[in-house]
Structure 1
Amino acid sequence: MVSNKGHALRNGGQRSTSPNTEAQETKREQIRDFIQELTVDLSELETFYNVKLSQSRIERIAEYVTNKFMELVQGFSSTFDELDQQSQVEYLLCFNYLRRKTEVLRADWFKLEELEPLLRGWASGLVELCERRQKVVPTTGQDAAKVLSEASKGIDGLSVRIQEGKFSMKSRFAPYRAAEQIEQLHGLLKEWYGFYEGYDPLFTWWTTKPWSDLSAKLQDLVPLIREKLVGIKPGEDDAIVGQPIGRDEIDNELKAEMIPYTPEELIQIAEREYAWCEKEAIKAAQEMGLGKNWRKALEHVKNMYVEPGQQTYMVHELAQEAIDYVTKHDMVTVPQIAKECWRTYMIPPSQQKVSPFFLGGPYIQVSYPTNTMTHDEKLMVMRGNSKPLSRSTVFHELIPGHHLQYHYMPRSKPHRRLFETPFWIEGWAFYWEMILWDRGFPGTPENRIGMLFWRMHRCARIVFSLRFHLGEMTPGECIEYLVEKVGHERATAEGEVRRSFNGDYGALYQAGYMIGALQMYALRKEVVGAGKMTEKAFHDRVLRENTMPIEMVRALIKGEKLEAFYTPRWRFYDL
């Protein structure tokens, strides 16, 4: 856009582009405006309609998504072939995003219906109070007090039935989800009450006692649900609870990620890659004088940790090593601001139960024991973050990995962040582990064992996460799998499984690391290996196109012909 304006100025202000090009530019601006509006509108709607137990929230967002879907199709599908390729890709990304958003909202509706027996008779009035407060709809103190009192009675009856074993639900995860959403409702009600308290004296006169009673009952209800319906006893805050989403939903997510493989095929890919890792680990163990016992080699590598207080300095040393390497070999453009502006933080002990290693992006977060941990906990975290094991995770999180991505994302086609996917985000960072391995970056057999640990880990993530969501493995079996196949410390294996199933990660997130990396690796072979692009040009192009399913990155880089009703077809890995 800028270069065209400059060209027009050099020609006396007359634009020299053809009518067709001008039409394409207009459409390009329109679709980018559409994406920006969609991003901001959805953010505002989801911030405003924030009561998770509300059906009207789902209805309002679904109404918006449906209207935007119709607007997209009516505005661009009939002229798809006239769009330039960048606009075609953005149309397909929008189409894919809105289709998937509709499916997610439909699933949210059914999940809310699943909770109805637990919420019946007490929750709807409270949700309405919060929604009336959102829109500042007048509510009298007397009416509010009635709602609070009736909700308290409903909770009393429910609590008795739960205590006496007369109430049950089909799955553990439904009441687990309900407990989280009831906690959120309680927080919103606190804000609701604070909005009126004191400011409206009559309101306060009516509601002080009913609100105090209800607040206490909500606080008691959450642990009761967790203990009696979920099976989490008091003090078991680290329990792992997850709900398999099933084959149909996995297939929907694979479609949204443009991955034309079945879950079983992805598991087959992971097992084949694991077999390669194991052979390489045996080679490294033999070089270390340990025969074929790669697990013994890993135990040796785990004990190569730094002393307390030195971990952050080690991280900076490893970070600079990677920056110097990719810069020296001219592998990717690393702007000075990206090199200069990243910070280091420590991960608190409580968070290390979910994130036992490093986290990164705009900054790096480091796991290392504190004086509050037990002796065994300290050793497990130190061994899990030894120097050879940290070497690849540092550049994975920083440069050329996530930090470099997060430097480019706000600067190049930032509207595409709506289409963020772990296959691009995590795939890029792990892809660099593969590329640097090929170039001999690890050097010593100890460092190779350290990098292979993570490569095995990415293979295992595909297997245990997909098999869990297919209903073929329990969380406990997933932990055992990580300990046995990868050599995890038990605490770090538990943290990985807890992170995968208790948090906000999608079912395919863990598969995104290796599968996304293999996609980029295959694309690199097609263009760099064939001499069509330099390595640096390829890496810079991937970063500047921003986040999206990698099949669409491939379409842009290779100039692939697209159609309005596109289906994923790229088989990037031969089975």
Structure 2
Amino acid sequence: MKVKSHTAEQGFPASGVIRDMIECVTADVSDIEQFYNITFSKTRIYRLEDYYRDKLAELATVQYLFLHPEDRTDYILLEKYLHQQRGSLASLKASLEELKPLIEPFASGLVVLIERRQKVEPTTGRYAADVLSSVAQDLEKKLRAISTDERPKDPGARFAAYRAVKCLEELTGALEEWTIFYKGYDPDFTWWTSAPFQEVIRQLNSFQAAVTANLVGSSVGSSTDDIVGQPVGRSGLLTDLDAQFIAYSPEELIEIADKEYAWCKTEMIKASKALGYGKDWKAALEHVKNLYVEPGQQTRLVHELSKEAVAYVKRHDMVTVPTIAEECWRTFMMTPERQKVNPFFLGGESLIVSYPTDTMSHADKLMSMRGNNRPMSRSTVFHELIPGHHLQMHMIARYRSYRSLFTTPFWIEGWAFYWEFILWDRGFASTPEEKIGMLFWRMHRCARIVFSLKFHMNQMTPRECIDYLVNKVGHERATAEGEVRRSFNGDYNALYQAGYMLGALQIYALRKEMVENGDFSEKEFHDRILREGEMPIEILRALLQDKRLRPGHKADWRFYDL
């Protein structure tokens, strides 16, 4: 008997009670963060802390047992989100202590001016000039100290300096907006602050350059030494795993990755033998890397491969492909600068094609071309477009978009990579070259789990992570550097890179439970996932299987046999 969605007629009240709260929280947090727009401001942190505390108290008044199943799901998600955000703010406050020697007291002085302007509190030009003058003096002292600073450039200190640079960039932009607000409108204010403002901007720029060069910059000179990152530690990973409803330890996840990698290597050797390279699968991979198109042809290749992927899933009735989703996606070219961080092309609402330009060196051109060869691009296209990220983005905008508050790489990246499992099982890769192209990415996602978790547990350095990708997966060194740089520059959660393979394994396991047991057809299963919106996969599983979770639910689904 198929699992059906509940309706009001089945004895539940109409859905939407918690949805309204989620939409309110989303809008409220956006307003708070836009108004208190300095991310490291104590005012902003305390305001958000108060807000999350009040919302948790409000949520606690809801009679959970009488909620519609969709609302119970939303309750669990919102409760976890609010607790997670409070924990993140506590971690932020602790981490800001590391920045005090670099950015205080001048940062607090500037934040006061910026927040007074935001609230339009009366501020005299003389008062503002006094603050700016004091800030300039403090910056000058710190600049002299940094020029002779010989503290060790350990990873923690370098990452703190890297974060300080981000704070300086934020302050500079906000201060420039601050002066525009008064300039010309308040002549007395402008008369007092014009010269001190210019001096502070000059000092901020000089200080930022000094911190970047002396505290963040390379102490050795290698191209990999500019990769900075802050390991969160095993305890930090456990906190993140709890937030994502993953019932495994970091060590168990690495064991999963190793098992999946062993399978990939066996299949890679089979494909290598079919090409005549025997067990030397890296030689076979080298053969595949040279199957790239000539300059000017990559965008045509992408469109050709996208049509192939769409035709395949439609022919086999695997998922609904709306006409607008198939028709309306745009193509852009990735800049050489961005290719240093994202060496492969990206997708979602649009496709951003990675291919060398005429400004790149000969070596960089060849590495980019080899890294975006036809067999590997074939997998990337259906991952990034349809049935992967582009279809996801299309559906998120139209169904339960309010759940984007609970976005997670295990759902976003897991869905796109899950299709590589399904299409492999169906024989979508029919030639040895196509199989190697798919297996490369599968090895890559295994490696992501290993190097990212080991980095965050202080077991691997960025350089060792790069070597791991080159040796275990067969990456070009330039693409490996870009991968590691992107992973640890502070833009990604510690579990993001692990989310690809682990999220895919979760959906794959859920498919076995729901499709192979006859609860859903394949198409119904895929459509339902997309229409339910973003959430951790364990919570999605409970919703699809009508499992009633309790408030404060902890992960308990063991989706992979070790």
TM range (shorter): over 0.9
Instruction: Give the whole-Å Cα distance in 2 for the aligned partners of 1:566 and 1:32.
Output: 19
Letter in 1 for 2:25: L
What does 1:51-450 align with in structure 2 at a 5 Å threshold?
51-74=38-61, 76=62, 79-165=63-149, 171-232=157-218, 239-450=226-437
Shift of 1:17: 4.8
Shift of 1:565: 3.0
Unaligned runs of 5+ in 2: 1-6
Instruction: Give the whole-Å Cα distance in 2 for the aligned partners of 1:405 and 1:166.
Output: 49
Alignment match of 1:483 (pick from 470, 484, 493):
470
Which residue number corresponds to residue 549 of structure 1? Answer: 536
Q: When the two structures are superposed, what TM-score results if normalisation uses the length of structure 2?
A: 0.96
8 A contact 1:152–1:213 mirrored in 2? yes
Q: When the two structures are superposed, what TM-score results if normalisation uses the length of structure 1?
A: 0.94
What does 1:17-28 align with in structure 2 at a 5 Å threshold?
17=9, 20-21=11-12, 24-25=13-14, 28=15
Letter in 1 for 2:403: R
Instruction: Give the whole-Å Cα distance in 2 for the aligned partners of 1:292 and 1:531.
Output: 40
8 A contact 1:53–1:127 mirrored in 2? no
8 A contact 1:343–1:364 mirrored in 2? yes
Shift of 1:238: 8.4
Letter in 1 for 2:69: Q
Shift of 1:503: 4.1
Letter in 2 for 1:46: E
Which residue number corresponds to residue 455 of structure 1? Answer: 442
Alignment match of 2:545 (pick from 554, 558, 563):
558
Instruction: Give the whole-Å Cα distance in 1 for the aligned partners of 2:93 and 2:451.
Output: 28
Shift of 1:172: 1.4
8 A contact 1:226–1:232 mirrored in 2? no
Residues 375-414 of structure 1 deviation map (CA, whole Å, 9 limit, x = unaligned): 0000000000000010010000000000111111121111
Letter in 1 for 2:475: H
Instruction: Give the whole-Å Cα distance in 1 for the aligned partners of 2:222 and 2:197.
Output: 28
Instruction: Give the whole-Å Cα distance in 2 for the aligned partners of 1:553 and 1:166.
Output: 52
Which residue number corresponds to residue 4 of structure 2? Answer: none
Shift of 1:417: 1.0
SS at match of 1:364: strand
8 A contact 2:217–2:225 mirrored in 1? no
Shift of 1:47: 1.4
SS at match of 1:70: helix
SS at match of 1:563: coil
Shift of 1:129: 0.5
Out of 414-423 and 118-127, give the one that drifted further: 118-127
What is the percentage of aligned positions where both structures have the same residue? 57
Residues 421-475 of structure 1 deviation map (CA, whole Å, 9 limit, x = unaligned): 0000000000000100000001000000000000000000000000000010010
Instruction: Give the whole-Å Cα distance in 2 for the aligned partners of 1:168 and 1:59.
Output: 33
The reply to whether residue 515 of structure 1 matches residue 499 of structure 2 is no
Shift of 1:562: 1.7
- 1:472 to 1:238, Cα distance in 2 relative to 1, 3 A: closer
Which residue number corresponds to residue 3 of structure 2? Answer: none
Unaligned runs of 5+ in 1: 1-6, 8-15
8 A contact 2:224–2:481 mirrored in 1? no
Letter in 2 for 1:466: L
Which residue number corresponds to residue 521 of structure 2? Answer: 534
Letter in 2 for 1:208: S
- Kindly tell me the number of residue pairs found equivalent between the two proteins: 553
Shift of 1:168: 7.6
Letter in 1 for 2:306: A
SS at match of 1:345: strand
- 1:129 to 1:166, Cα distance in 2 relative to 1, 3 A: farther
Letter in 1 for 2:463: G
Letter in 2 for 1:209: A
Residues 294-325 of structure 1 deviation map (CA, whole Å, 9 limit, x = unaligned): 10000000000000000000000000000000
SS at match of 1:344: strand
Shift of 1:519: 0.2
Shift of 1:529: 1.2
Instruction: Give the whole-Å Cα distance in 2 for the aligned partners of 1:291 and 1:438.
Output: 24
Instruction: Give the whole-Å Cα distance in 2 for the aligned partners of 1:529 and 1:405.
Output: 23
Higher relative contact order (CA 8 A, sep 6+): 2
Shift of 1:61: 1.1
Shift of 1:175: 1.4
Instruction: Give the whole-Å Cα distance in 1 for the aligned partners of 2:423 and 2:36.
Output: 46
